[in-house]
Amino acid sequence: MSFLASAADAAYALIRPFVHASDGEAAHDLTLAALQPLPRARRALTSPALATELAGIAFPNPVGLAPGFDKDARVAHAMPHFGFGFVEVGTLTPLPQAGNPRPRLFRLVEDRAIINRMGFNNGGQESAAERIVRLRRYGLPVPLGINIGANKDSADRIADYAKGAAAMAPLADYLTVNISSPNTPGLRALQDRGALEALLDGVAAAQGDLAKPVFLKVAPDLEPADIDDIVAVAIDKGLAAIIVSNTTVERPALASRHAGEAGGLSGAPLASLALQRLRDFRAASGGRVPLIGVGGIATAGQAWERIRAGASLVQLYSAMVYEGPGLAARIARGLEELAARDGFARVADAVGTAE
């Protein structure tokens, strides 16, 4: 682990009680403000055992930053310092939007969970593009994904995704089409087969000859028939990967006083559901579509379980609230150790071996 990641973990351990006593969104804003002045990362955490490739993209290690943390691409330059092997910014919409009324982000400390109903709050694609152009000019040692969505009041959401693809593809190593947020009314309806086909056709047409890899982010709250349809469309349209999964609207038994808040649940209570959905998508696809595992991952052991279940990459966000900013580095190094323990020369060699 880098000195910066270790120092950040030590500092976070001291201030965590004060952070958790404050408003969740205000604490997040302060975190971004603290990260922005950090120098640009010049190298990534990697090794021959950790390096992997997906969709023609070289990933220094398979542990990525999930979208939502850096919605407006303000701190992507700094995140490799903390061990991330790739960074995904967004969700970005064509036009700026404020999102849902506050409060809209809640820590469920007793459950090591988060509930959010942010509503795609962001400064819009044009503003983010200016920062990403600067980031690209000076370089980033890890792949950059850009997560695109539709404005809440859009009369044509498929057109919004096409606009996002046209605007952001030139700046991205990959695009993520996010149709899985529970906080934009009607958005998850785009997971239906006909709507999904039209959406992906629109995204492909908007990219033209550029054709950056397209990842699709899905919800965990899916029925078996939904999974079969999504996989069939993914194969037919040549999707580069499916990200499994976003937050859930389900509510397992929770101890926190915030358990009844509306929105998407993430963190530890999502882990078993997200793992099962990953297994479901692996079974439905027969390994023909690469998968990325997200949801409730807080240890190297959990990340290893996702990889053995079929994930080529994993992503983190909520667990950092409880485990500290050095979590990605700890997980990456832990994956290296687990691969060696189980007789794999590379972490990538273990993908799907638990079937």
Q: Are 62 and 47 in contact (CB under 8 A)?
A: no
Distance CA 3, CA 312 (A): 28
- Is residue 285 annotated as a catalytic residue, yes or no? no
Task: Reply yes or no: is the peptide bond before residue 46 cis, omega within 30 of 0.
Answer: no
Distances (CA, A) of 76 to 66, 323, 328: 11, 20, 14
What counts of helices (H) and strands (E) characterise the chain? 10, 13
The beta strands (E) that lie in 295-332 are given as 311-316
Q: Are 60 and 141 in contact (CB under 8 A)?
A: yes
Distance CA 250, CA 273 (A): 10
Q: What is the DSSP string of 251-284?
A: -----STTTT-SSEEEEGGGHHHHHHHHHHHHHH
Please report which helix (H) or strand (E) contains residue 57, including its range: strand 57-59
Annotated active-site residue in 6, 47, 127, 181: 181
Distance CA 33, CA 267 (A): 23
Burial zone of 237 (CB within 10 Å; 0-12 exposed, 13-18 middle, 19+ buried): middle
* Phi/psi of residue 51, nearest 5 degrees: -65, 140
Active centre residues (catalytic): 181
